[in-house]
Amino acid sequence: MPAADWEAVSREMERALQNIYAQSLREEQVTQAVEEMLKAWPASWTDQQRRVASALVPQHVQANEVPDPATTLAAQAAARSAVGPIQVQVLAGEIVVRDGSVVTEQDVEKLRALDLADPAVDLTRVLGHLGWALLIAGVLGLFIERYAEETWADDRRLVLVGLSVVALVAVGRVVAPGTLTLYFAPFAAVAMMLTVLAGGRTALATQIAGALHVGILSLQVEHVAYVLVPALLGMAAIRRATTAREFVAGAFNVAGGNLGVIGAFLLIARPTDVLGLIQLGSAALASGALSGLVAFGATGFLGHLFRITTVFELRELADPNHPLLRQLLLRTPGTYHHSLLVANLAERAAEVIGADGLTARVGAYYHDVGKMRNPLAFIENQTGKNPHDELDPLVSAQIVSAHIRDGLVLAERYHLPEQITEMIPAHHGTALVKYFWQTARDRGQNVDEQAFRHPGPKPRTREAGIVMLADGVEASVRSLAEKTPETIRTMVDKIVEERVADGQLDECDLTLRDIRSIRDAFCELLAGVYHERIPYPEDRIARIDSLRPPAAS
């Protein structure tokens, strides 16, 4: 090969190799680099120059970057240690992964952090949840047994409490903790419903138990507050629940409580964007509305299902147009007006001692409905001769006691609730029919006191005990020839002391302080009913009439 041709080949190869080695070249890239060099020879080269260059190129092109595992691992470790932990915040209401979308590694980590990634059964966790449930159930039962005796003594209310806790836990489990759905749930409806059907103490204890269960499912104190705090505000609004408006007020209270809880936790540790604020606010308002609606519906439905008398049912029974009260007015007007006054006495006394005034009033309305069977056997309905004047005292006592049996028959026929029906026999308890017992003794008869007693049972609730006292007091005071505050006080004290001494109030929860307050309430109301009227002389009446304007023509 001529010297000039060789010189040209040498220069071109040197230039090409410099270009290749200026970049990293791995072993797997050598073949491709050789091929690219062979294609890039000048077009002016002879065939001999091309053959020489093609033979030399593969010998001189070699990889300049080779693997070094040890050094690579060390560099990776150094890089990892130089990078701090990266925390990603999942905002309230944020959608972590949508159904049907590709799940990334970051999505999996978020799901694991929210305890939603691993569906496998963790026996340790199951045992932990079971132990927690048993602990809360035990504490709840102990509280109700000590501080809500009426609920503890009523199996139906206990079942209702158990179902309420299960409902709270189930809703907390179904609506995944950490998702927006949880904030829509009407948790407060349980407390509002139980306030009406089982009382405030039972409702409070049940809601606390449910809130703790929901909290342990999510391990977030915010959820405990969200279940509990708004419910307390809802309970405050429907403490008496005499109308549907109170449930509406409860719904507003719950919505406000929801917003307050969410706002407080957002300020403390849960910042979110404008869209998140709108979503959470909407959920809070919807939860309040749902709570009021569900509580109103559940109160009526569950009250009927468990045969627990609701305020709405009592209000219907207190309506003077109720068919049974209409019959009582038309057939036994004296008994009807006696029942009205007994109802006023009972309601006032119940309110003074913190008992249920509406229940006492309604019970008093219906306590003597059995007298419709034989109206003239009772003095308030008599306008002429007393039929008992010609009867044996024992027969008369049996006729008088029969109004209890007849009243129970009517109560069943008209489907009166149990707590009202119980007052029909309880308003006399096992008391002595004293007038006819004394008459028999005065006639020298061999008297069996037990035969002259009412069949009972004795009052078992405070309201029934109050109705018993109001019934005896009203009838006795009405019989007084002179009704002054002093004579009224003397008669009230006498009747109450007789009932207490006879043991008629032993089975209800009236304390001595309650009984003293009841007597004072009776005396105050009766003194107002029978207060002295100012006599108007005839000439003064004429002068008053002359002062009246003439009637319009």
- Identify the DSSP state of 381: G
Within-domain flag for 543: no
Within-domain flag for 538: no
CA dihedral in degrees (375, 377, 380, 383; nearest 10)? 90
∠ CA 498-504-505, nearest 5°, is: 105
Residues 478 and 330 grouped into a single domain: yes
Within-domain flag for 542: no
Distances (CA, A) of 546 to 535, 538, 541, 549: 18, 12, 9, 8
Nearest residue to 97 via CA among 176, 173, 172: 176
Residue-level pLDDT at 539: 55
CA 282 – CA 259 distance, rounded (Å): 9
Residues 298 and 349 grouped into a single domain: no
pLDDT bucket at 33, cuts 50 / 70 / 90: confident
Q: Which of 38, 60, 82 is the last residue of a domain?
A: 60
Scanning the structure block, which residue is given the tokens 């009412």? 454
Could you check whether the bond before residue 186 is cis, i.e. omega within 30 degrees of 0? no
Domain enclosing residue 373, as ranges: 322-529
Q: What is the CATH number of the domain that holds 361?
A: 1.10.3210
Query: How many domains does the structure of the chain reveal?
Result: 3
237 vs 8, higher pLDDT = 237
* Cβ-based neighbours of 131, under 8 Å, separated by 6 or more: none
pLDDT bucket at 551, cuts 50 / 70 / 90: very low
- The one-letter amino acid at 367: H
Q: Which of 60, 77, 109 is the last residue of a domain?
A: 60
CA dihedral in degrees (494, 497, 502, 508; nearest 10)? 130
Within-domain flag for 297: yes
Nearest residue to 364 via CA among 437, 458, 479, 469: 469
Task: Answer yes or no: is pLDDT of 500 > 80.
Answer: yes
- For the chain, the average pLDDT equals 85
CB 277 within 8 A of CB 326: no
Residues 131 and 200 grouped into a single domain: yes
Within-domain flag for 46: yes
Residue-level pLDDT at 205: 94
Question: Can you read off the two tokens belonging to residue 139?
Answer: 């504490």
241 vs 135, higher pLDDT = 135
Q: What is the CATH number of the domain that holds 288?
A: 1.10.1760.20
CA 204 to chain centre: 8
What is the torsional sign of CA 157, 163, 166, 170? negative
* Cβ-based neighbours of 87, under 8 Å, separated by 6 or more: none
Task: Answer yes or no: is pLDDT of 347 > 60.
Answer: yes
pTM, two decimals, is 0.66
The three-class DSSP label of residue 408 is: helix
| CB neighbour burial string for 42-79, b if at least 16 within 10 angstroms, e if fewer | eeebeeebeebbeeebeeebeeeeeeeeeeeeeeeeee
Terminal alpha carbon distance of the chain = 151
Residues 209 and 326 grouped into a single domain: no
For the ranges 7-21, 42-56, 353-367, 521-535, the one whose mean pLDDT is highest: 353-367
Residues 381 and 508 grouped into a single domain: yes
Query: Rounded mean pLDDT of 379-384?
Result: 81
What is the torsional sign of CA 142, 143, 144, 145? positive
Residues 151 and 291 grouped into a single domain: yes
Within-domain flag for 514: yes
Residues 302 and 349 grouped into a single domain: no
Residues 304 and 434 grouped into a single domain: no
Nearest residue to 137 via CA among 218, 222, 208: 208
Residues 261 and 342 grouped into a single domain: no
pLDDT digits (tens, 9 = 90+) for 322-337: 999 999 999 999 999 9
pLDDT digits (tens, 9 = 90+) for 442-488: 888 888 889 999 998 999 999 999 999 999 999 999 989 899 999 99
Residue-level pLDDT at 537: 60
Residues 202 and 254 grouped into a single domain: yes
Within-domain flag for 457: yes
Nearest residue to 469 via CA among 333, 332, 374, 355: 355
Residues 158 and 50 grouped into a single domain: no
Residues 334 and 414 grouped into a single domain: yes
The three-class DSSP label of residue 301 is: helix
∠ CA 479-358-360, nearest 5°, is: 40
Residue-level pLDDT at 131: 87
Query: Rounded mean pLDDT of 394-420?
Result: 93
Within-domain flag for 441: yes
